[in-house]
Amino acid sequence: MSKGFRQSQSTLHTWSGLLVGWVLFVVFVAGTAAYWREAINRWAQPELPRIEDPARVLRGEQAFLTQRAPDATTWFITVPSDRSASGTVFWVPGAKEKPGKARGDTLAMIDGNGQPVVARETRGGDFFYRFHFDLQYLPVIWSRWIVGVCAMFMLVAILSGIVTHKKIFRDFFTFRGGKGQRSWLDGHNAVAVLGLPFHLMITYTGLVTLMTMLMPWAAVANYRDPTALFTELFPQAAPVARSGKPAPLVDLTVLLKDAERRLGAPVEYIQVASPGDAAARVTLSQSAHGTLSSYPPSLSYDGGSGRLIWASPPAGAAMLTAGAMIGLHAGRFADAPLRWLYFLCGLGGSIMVASGLVLWTVKRREKLPDPARPHFGFRLVERLNIGFVAGFPTAMVGFLWANRLLPLEMEARAQAEIDAMFVFWGALILHAFVRAPRRAWVEQLGIAAVLLLALPVYDALATSKGLPATIAAGDWTLAGVDLTLLAFGLGFGWAARAVHRRAPAKRHSRARAMVLA
Amino acid sequence: MIAVTFAVALAAFLLFAFATDRQHRARFGEALPARRQSVLRGGAWACVAIDFMLAVLAWGGVFGPVGWIAMLMAGAAVSFILLNFLLPDRANRR
């Protein structure tokens, strides 16, 4: 391979990584946290009883909707698993009912006892999941374009990085510590190469999740009516009109049992069209937890008799491929060991992006004409690195603290948690710009460590779901969240200490350089 | 079964590492003979193949390949940590 080509790839790698690195870091970190979306949802509502019998929740959901929205056009019901915080119901109001002003007016949560949830209002882990592709405070379509373009840059950075890394196999196991730029490069290469299959997969499949937005031309050229495409991709039983004859709806738990037997997998979503009418139709969709594809099959039943009337046809090769790719990205199928591996790979990806960002400054610091007064571009990158690499994870912990500390009865509490996180993050970015860089790193990493280590302590003292209680109850999902927070607290503490301990040596050498000058 | 899958993946990458001159010298304090390099590499590739079968047994035909790749990455990562941070470096001690 010619040196010129490799050099051009190296330049491409550097700039494609740096220009979007901060957004990529945020997307990677939030996406990694989202692998524990359900666990964080449970942690965020410690008042809720653990779900031991999903059928009991479904009975509660049906009873709630029968009483609250008997004339709705459609009910949408989530069947929880034992990992979920609660069951969710959503309905489209019928002609007789006034449409809800806010989404919350037609949405409700049902707890493990089958009762409407009485718990703090929060987005929990769902926030991190949505944030990693919808961002916040921006129109969704803009956010997805931003994330999509950044993911394309990421793919370019990965591929050009592979070309740039000359001794990818020879240096596979090599780490030379304590050697400044060489150590940073070895570390960056290690997390990149060790998790390379994951990094390639997650970036490419991430683009696949946005493919209809990024590359709409095939659909636009072939389908004048977008609903025709949708109908072809996601076939459903033929729609029925409301007959006007009232009829009780069949017990949904009976249909659940029958559908799970036929599908050979758990059901996650139930849609009831025209509930309470003789023409009612119930469609049950398989959970993505049991299948690699994100487009699992559905079954439709007559709502009055409970007779099976329709089954979705086997998916075509294109849909199966797209479904499997999106399924691989989201990892919903993963059991606990695989989920941990997904999480660790996501962590590796986050460290890869972060170390690449820091490497940019480490590499250029040595070439600065006056290290005490770096040029504007260098200062900007250095400060943004602190505000994002140390600041964003710290702000995420701030979100968790807001979940614990905001008044329970507060108006628009879920949004307030999110706002609190961004206000905190804004303050941390500001802090990164006004403090000396090394002090800012130490302080932000230290704040993250203290906040992380204090959270499980607060849980043990102020909630009924502290570590001793959850371990005693064998509730390893909640215990796992607190133990992970502790582990991260120790990790951030170690990082803060490591940066702090390097500071005197640097100051010393600078002072000596001044004396010598 | 999953623990065995991980152990075999780890063994594969330790063997790959010992099949490099740098790591062989660091662990065993001597240069790597060509014949031993072939044996170590062969053993590593055999472990990779066995690991695939173990992963399919553990997770089934659909999720097995995903679990296999994940375990190989975990094995590579743990071997990296062992070799660089936990096991003594006999070459540099001299």
Q: How far apart are CA A435 and CA A458, in angstroms?
A: 30
A246 phi, psi to nearest 5 deg = -65, 140
Chain B nearest-CA distance from A195, in A, is 6
Residue type, A120: R
- pLDDT (tens digit, 9 = 90+) per residue, B21-54? 888 888 888 888 889 999 999 999 999 999 999 9
Phi-psi map region of A426: left, alpha, beta (phi>0 left; psi -120 to 50 alpha): alpha
CB of B20 less than 8 A from some CB of A:
yes
Helices (H) and strands (E) in chain B, counts: 4, 0
Q: Measure CB to CB from residue B80 to each of A194, A333, A341 and give the nearest one.
A: A194
Cross-chain residue pair B66–A338, CB shorter than 8 Å: yes
Residues 6 or more apart whose CB falls under 8 angstroms from that of A72 comprise A65, A91, A92, A93, A94, A97, A275
This prediction's pTM:
0.91
**Cβ separation of B83 and A342 shorter than 8 Å?**
no
CA distance to partner chain B, nearest, from residue A109 (Å) = 32
Taking contacts as CB-CB distances below 8 angstroms, the residues of chain A near B22 are 173-174
Residue pair B72/B47 in contact by the 8 Å Cβ criterion: no
Spatial separation of the C-alpha atoms in residues A39 and A34, rounded to whole Å: 9
Q: Tell how many helices (H) and how many strands (E) occur in chain A.
A: 19, 7
- Considering just the CA atoms, what is the radius of gyration of chain A in Å? 26
Q: Which residues contact A170 (CB under 8 A, 6 or more apart)?
A: B20
Q: Residue A289 has what pLDDT?
A: 84
Q: What is the pLDDT of residue A510?
A: 47
Residue with tokens 């066995």: B50
Q: Domain range for residue B72?
A: 2-93
Q: Residue holding tokens 């390097």? A: A502
Q: How far is A63 from A57, CA to CA, in rounded Å?
A: 10
Residue A422 CA: distances (Å) to CA of A132, A393, A411, A414, A427: 14, 11, 18, 13, 8
DSSP state of A289: G
| Predicted-assembly ipTM surpassing the 0.85 threshold | yes
| Residue B28 at interface with chain A, using a CB cutoff of 8 Å | no
Give residue A99's pLDDT. 64
pLDDT confidence bin for B93, thresholds 50/70/90: low
- Inspect the interface and report whether the beta carbons of B73 and A194 lie closer than 8 Å: yes
Crossing angle of helices A336-365/A196-209, nearest 10°? 100
CB neighbour list of residue B58: distance below 8 Å, 6 or more residues apart:
B1, B2, B5, B64, B67
**CA distance to partner chain A, nearest, from residue B30 (Å):** 18
The answer to whether the beta carbons of residues A375 and A390 sit under 8 Å apart is no
Nearest to B62 among A175, A292, A345 (CB): A292
List per-residue pLDDT tens for chain A, 517 residues long.
566 888 889 899 999 889 999 999 999 999 999 999 999 999 999 999 999 999 999 999 999 999 999 989 999 999 999 889 999 999 999 877 766 666 668 899 999 999 998 889 999 999 999 999 999 999 999 999 999 999 999 999 999 999 988 777 777 888 888 888 888 888 999 999 999 999 999 999 999 999 989 999 988 898 888 788 888 888 888 888 888 899 999 999 999 999 999 999 999 999 999 999 999 999 999 998 878 888 889 999 999 999 999 999 988 899 999 999 999 999 999 989 999 999 999 999 999 999 999 999 998 988 888 878 889 999 999 999 999 999 999 999 999 999 999 999 999 999 999 999 999 999 999 999 999 999 999 999 999 999 999 999 999 999 999 999 999 999 999 999 999 999 999 999 999 999 998 754 444 444 444 434 3
**Out of B22, B70, B80, whose CB is closest to A341?**
B70
Helix-helix angle A391-405:A3-34, to 10 degrees: 10
Distances, alpha carbon A460 to alpha carbons A273, A394, A400, A453, A471, in Å:
45, 21, 15, 12, 11
What's the total number of domains in chain B?
1
What pLDDT was estimated at residue A508?
43
Q: How many CB atoms lie within 10 A of CB A233?
A: 15
